[in-house]
Amino acid sequence: MTNSSNFGTGRISWLWFALACLALLIAPALFDVNTMTVLLIWSLFALSLGLMWGYAGILSFGHAAYFGLGAYTFAVASMNIGESTLPLLLALLIPALLAAVIGAMMFYGRISDVYMGVITLVVTLIIFKFINSTAGDAYRIGEARLGGFNGIPAFPILNVPGQTDIPIFGLGLYYVVAASLLICYLLCRWILASWFGRVLVGIRENESRIELLGYSAPLYKTAIFTVSAAMAGLAGCLFANWAEIVTPGLFSLGQSAEVIIYTIVGGLGTLIGPMLGAVGLGFLKLLLGEQTLIDNSLLLGAILVLVVLLLPSGIVPTFMRWRQKRSQATAARHRANSTRRRRRQHGDGA
Amino acid sequence: MSETVVETRDLSVRFGGVHAVNNVNFSLKDRELRCLIGPNGAGKSTFFKCLTGQVQVGHNNGRVLIKGHDVTGWRPYDIVRLGVGIKTQTPSVMNGLTVEENLWLSARRVNSRETVREVVQAVMAQVSLEGIARRQLGELAHGQRQLVEIGIVLAQRPWLILLDEPAAGITHAEADRLVEIIHEVNQKATIVVVDHDMQFVRSLGGHVTVLHQGAVLREGPVDTVLADQKVREVYIGSRAK
- Res B182: pLDDT: 94
Dist. CA A309–CA A305, nearest whole Å = 6
Tally A–B CB contacts below 8 A: 78
Cβ-defined contact of B77 to A212 (cutoff 8 Å) = yes
Dist. CA B42–CA B39, nearest whole Å = 5
Question: Least CB-CB distance to A216: which of B77, B113, B152?
Answer: B77
Cβ-defined contact of A202 to B105 (cutoff 8 Å) = yes
Cβ proximity of A279 and A47 under 8 Å = no
Question: Least CB-CB distance to A7: which of B77, B101, B152?
Answer: B101
Cβ proximity of B175 and B146 under 8 Å = no
pLDDT by residue, tens only, chain B of 241 residues = 478 999 999 999 988 888 899 899 999 999 999 999 988 888 999 999 999 999 988 878 899 999 999 999 899 999 999 999 999 988 899 999 999 999 999 999 999 989 999 999 999 999 999 999 999 999 999 888 999 999 999 999 999 999 999 988 888 888 998 999 999 999 999 999 998 888 899 999 989 999 998 999 999 998 898 888 888 887 655 454 4
Dist. CA B26–CA A332, nearest whole Å = 60
| CA neighbours closer than 13 Å in the CB half-sphere of residue A97 | 9
Strands B63-66 and B69-70 turn out to be antiparallel
Q: What secondary structure does DSSP assign to A51-119, as a single string? A: HHHHHH----TTTHHHHHHHHHHHHHHHHHH-SSHHHHHHHHHHHHHHHHHHHHHHHHTT--HHHHHHH
Q: In chain B, which residues touch A (CB < 8 A)?
A: 52, 54, 75-77, 80-81, 86, 88, 92-98, 100-101, 104-106, 108-110, 113, 116-117, 120, 133-134, 152, 156
Distance from CA of B227 to the nearest CA of A (A): 36
Strands B160-164 and B84-87 turn out to be parallel
Dist. CA A7–CA A68, nearest whole Å = 33
- Res B230: pLDDT: 87
Domain ranges of chain A: 14-297
Given 3-state DSSP classes, what are the helix, strand and coil percentages for chain A, each rounded to the nearest 5? 75, 5, 20
Dist. CA A131–CA A141, nearest whole Å = 13
pLDDT tens figures, A150-177: 999 989 999 999 888 899 999 999 999 9
Q: Name the strand (E) or helix (H) holding B200.
A: helix B198-204
pTM: 0.90
Cβ-defined contact of B101 to A198 (cutoff 8 Å) = yes
Handedness of CA A309, A40, A54, A65 (dihedral sign): negative
> Which positions in chain B touch A219 (Cβ < 8 Å)?
none
Cβ proximity of A57 and A201 under 8 Å = no
- Res B241: pLDDT: 45
Q: Name the strand (E) or helix (H) holding B48.
A: helix B44-52
The residue ranges of chain A whose pLDDT is under 70 are: 1-5, 348-350
Cβ-defined contact of A8 to B96 (cutoff 8 Å) = yes
- Res B238: pLDDT: 45
Question: Least CB-CB distance to A205: which of B94, B133, B156?
Answer: B94
- Res A128: pLDDT: 95
- Res A342: pLDDT: 85
